[in-house]
Amino acid sequence: MSEKTVTVRSVESVGPDTVAITLESPDSFDAKPGQFVQLLLDVDGEEHARHYTISSARVEETFEITVGIDPEGTVGPTLAELERGDEVRVKGPFGRNHYEGEESVTLVVGGPGVGPAVGIAERVIQEGGDVAVVYRDDAHAHVDRLGAVADAGGSVFLVGGDLDPAVDAAVEAVGGQVFVYGFAEFLEDALDALDEAGADTDAAKIENFG
């Protein structure tokens, strides 16, 4: 997709150092939950490109991204300061490791991987499927939406350290198509835990945040 300029609808704190940014969807924007966009931002007179994964269940009219903010990061603090009415440049959607209507879905995510986890989990519930979410972080974000997923019948595990017990329980409860989202170190831990639990990691849909 060529570059489009889109307007910010809202920026909301959804946890410690984490914001959900809702953007007006470009014309004919047909992103699937779990796909990502590239944002182009000017910071101190220099252009920077960063990728962010869609965290809304749907993208008609608006779509949402969830950004984990490192106060020392190059682009994150600028994104946290966006306000309704600001404009950002966006390209995409990109990525093949997205939700495609699978009936049973297990998501194992770390840090900002919570974004695609909530978006996909909500969509699976809307479609009448079964979903499990294992989410590891020092301090968890999107707890309200994950609580609603649990209330709707999803299995949700918020983890601070060892992934193994929660991944075991998620694979046992739901299994099915596995999705893994997060930074590289987390992906290694997640795939080890999934292998231990007997999940099909060869077929897993994985997105490496860097």
Ligand X SMILES: Cc1cc2nc3c(=O)[nH]c(=O)nc-3n(C[C@H](O)[C@H](O)[C@H](O)COP(=O)(O)OP(=O)(O)OC[C@H]3O[C@@H](n4cnc5c(N)ncnc54)[C@H](O)[C@@H]3O)c2cc1C
Is 67 a binder of ligand X (CB under 6 A)? yes
Q: How many CB atoms lie within 10 A of CB 2?
A: 5
Q: Least distance to ligand X from the beta carbon of 46, Å?
A: 11
Report, in Å, the least distance between residue 143 CB and ligand X.
Answer: 17
Q: Is 140 in the site for ligand X (CB under 6 A)?
A: no
Token output for 52: 């962010």
The binding track of 143-182 with respect to ligand X, each residue x by CB under 6 A or -, is: ----------------------------------------
Neighbouring residues of 6: CB distance < 8 A, sequence distance ≥ 6: 23, 24, 25, 26, 87, 88, 89, 90
Number of residues that bind ligand X (CB under 6 A): 23
Q: Which stretch binds ligand X (CB under 6 A): 64-72, 80-88, 131-139, 167-175?
A: 64-72
Kindly give, in sequence order, each residue whose CB lies less than 8 Å from that of residue 174, ignoring residues fewer than 6 positions away.
104, 105, 106, 130, 131, 132, 155
Strand order in the sheet with 155-159: 155-159, 130-136, 104-110, 177-182, 205-208
Residue 70 binds to ligand X (criterion: CB under 6 A): yes
Q: Taking CB under 6 A as the rule, does residue 184 contact ligand X?
A: yes
Secondary element (H or E) of residue 38: strand 36-43
Part in contact with ligand X (CB under 6 A); list of ranges 51-59, 127-135, 157-165, 170-178? 51-59
Q: Are 33 and 98 in contact (CB under 8 A)?
A: yes
Residue number, 53 or 56, with CB nearest to ligand X: 53
Q: Is 53 in the site for ligand X (CB under 6 A)?
A: yes
Residue whose structure tokens are 């990525």: 95
Chain contacts with ligand X (rule: CB under 6 A) = 36, 50-53, 65-68, 70, 72-76, 112, 115, 183-185, 207, 209-210
